[in-house]
Amino acid sequence: MVTSVSSRSVGRRTIFGKQRVQLGGALLLAVGLPFLIRMAFPVMGTQSDFATAVIGNLCAVALGHYILRSLTVYPGIVAGFYVLPSFAISYAVVLIAFWTFRLGYSRSLFLIGFPLCILWYFFIFFRLQRRQSLRIGIVPFGEVEMLGDINRVDWTTLTEPPPARGHNYDAIVADFRADLPDEWERFLADCALSGTIVYHCKQLQESLTGRVSVEHLSENTFGLLIPALLYVKLKRIVDFGTAAVASVLFLPVLVLVGAAIKLDSPGPIMFRQRRVGAGGRAFRVIKFRTMTHNGASGAPREIDDAITVENDPRITRVGRVLRRTRIDELPQMFNVLAGTMSWIGPRPEAEVLSKWYEAELPFYHYRHVVKPGITGWAQVNQGHVASMTQVHGKLQYDFYYIKYFSLWLDVLIVFRTIVTVLTGHGSR
């Protein structure tokens, strides 16, 4: 649970890497300790309040463990960053349930479980952190050479099948589409039976890099080409509701930022530009203006006009702050309200850039199968791009998001966006 899907195999070699130990220890602290406190101080609340607090702690710990485990499925994840948010959400959900159903509970006994649970999972994280380096054996057939360029893993190319039991590898990786000799096929089957994780090289590459290689559109690469329609509809409901609330809450911020832009440089407060959205349909995006008026034309005619370079001289003083903190994107909540954007998804590109990318990169327009977002998987991993090579990498992140399109990936992006805003990563 330390850094990625595959790192769980490292954790399983230690007692603290076992899910039942992690959850059991949390329950023992968050539920068992309050129980002992109650036994020592029987005057602390009524019996029913105590029982409700115990059940609430039980539910909050189980839900928090599930959220944390779901978030750390994705690649490049440091679990320590998500311990506090995961359990803050779970305990908040239980508190909301208490309030909704007017349930009486012992506040002191319930809330004492929260810090105990947090301390326990941080303890596990630091114990496993020292063992996060992976040793993976490579079956030397097919397209496995791509794995050698990925750092953070001790790769060993196997020359002959080792014993399926008793080897020192955390996992084995092979190209399942390759024509493997019989002895290697038996070895992989034996590894699976003995409990050793066996990965397909392409899925392992995606897990470790957070990208989907842009090769060809096929069911083997993307599964169904259209993302889960039920989640698409649910996401639209959540987008609209949160954008409606945010437009009211952030109104004072919008007014203050607008005044700062007006005082800093001549020109309009807002910047409007035609960009390509879901289904390849163009729409007009709205942002705070961060460049001088002449350089902020809403319809750039040249590719160079649409690309922001490092230390771009067109960026104003206020604009530089807005870009670093991503506040310039805030007015796009009105695009979310209108349904042309989502909070999370591939970033929409200017029409002139989109046409250029489509001419240079195969299947670029497949990224338009979902609504564009204010933030996204590519933004929290790569940031702003300018060259065609960087665009190709960004497209791989976008395809990864589409392939693994889900609630948990969106929640993960929200957490990582907060880190991005605080650090200014990838801004220009």
Residue 221 falls inside a structural domain: no
Long-range contacts of 70-75 (CB under 8 A, 24+ apart): 70/408, 71/408, 71/411, 71/412, 71/415, 72/1, 72/2, 72/4, 73/5, 73/408, 74/4, 74/5, 74/210, 74/404, 74/408, 74/409, 74/412, 75/4, 75/5, 75/206, 75/207, 75/208, 75/209, 75/210
Q: What is the pLDDT of residue 301?
A: 52
**Residue 345 exposed, middle or buried by CB count within 10 Å (0-12, 13-18, 19+):** buried
pLDDT confidence tier of residue 304, bands split at 50, 70 and 90? low
Residues 198 and 120 grouped into a single domain: no
Residues 170 and 69 grouped into a single domain: no
Residues 275 and 347 grouped into a single domain: yes
125: nearest Cα among 86, 98, 96, 161: 86
pLDDT confidence tier of residue 308, bands split at 50, 70 and 90? low
Q: Please give the average per-residue pLDDT across 241-269, as a whole number.
A: 93
Q: Which of 180, 209, 238 is the last residue of a domain?
A: 209
Residues 201 and 117 grouped into a single domain: no
Distance CA 69, CA 134 (A): 19
Q: What is the pLDDT of residue 251?
A: 94
Residue 2 falls inside a structural domain: no
Q: Which of 179, 209, 239 is the last residue of a domain?
A: 209
Residues 278 and 392 grouped into a single domain: yes
Global pTM value? 0.71
299 pLDDT more than 70? no
Matching residue, tokens 């204010």? 374
Residue 220 falls inside a structural domain: no
Residues 327 and 376 grouped into a single domain: yes
pLDDT confidence tier of residue 10, bands split at 50, 70 and 90? very low
Residue 1 falls inside a structural domain: no
Q: Please give the average per-residue pLDDT across 314-336, as a whole number.
A: 90
Residues 88 and 157 grouped into a single domain: no
- How many separate domains does the chain show? 3
Q: Which domain holds residue 200?
A: 134-209
pLDDT confidence tier of residue 420, bands split at 50, 70 and 90? confident
Give the rounded distance of the alpha carbon of 414 from its chain centre.
7
- Higher per-residue confidence, 351 vs 4: 351
Residue 428 falls inside a structural domain: no
Residue 327 falls inside a structural domain: yes
Cβ atoms of 350 and 275 within 8 Å: the answer is: yes
Residues 166 and 71 grouped into a single domain: no
105 pLDDT more than 60? yes
pLDDT confidence tier of residue 303, bands split at 50, 70 and 90? low
Residues 383 and 242 grouped into a single domain: yes
**Residue 292 exposed, middle or buried by CB count within 10 Å (0-12, 13-18, 19+):** middle
Q: Which residues does 383 contact at the CB level (< 8 Å), separation at least 6?
A: 420, 425, 426, 427, 428
pLDDT confidence tier of residue 426, bands split at 50, 70 and 90? low
Mean pLDDT, the chain, rounded, equals 82
Residues 378 and 292 grouped into a single domain: yes
374: nearest Cα among 322, 336, 428: 336
The percentage of the chain sitting over the pLDDT mark of 90, rounded to a whole number, equals 29
pLDDT digits (tens, 9 = 90+) for 160-206: 998 888 788 888 999 988 899 989 998 998 888 887 888 888 888 88
pLDDT digits (tens, 9 = 90+) for 122-131: 888 877 765 5
Q: Which of 99, 129, 159 is the last residue of a domain?
A: 129
Distance CA 329, CA 327 (A): 5
Q: What is the pLDDT of residue 286?
A: 94
342: nearest Cα among 262, 405, 273, 268: 405
Token pair for 187? 């070895």
pLDDT digits (tens, 9 = 90+) for 52-83: 888 999 999 999 999 888 877 665 566 777 88
Token pair for 379? 């933004």
Residues 192 and 328 grouped into a single domain: no
418 pLDDT more than 50? yes
Residues 87 and 67 grouped into a single domain: yes
Residue 214 falls inside a structural domain: no
Residue 217 falls inside a structural domain: no
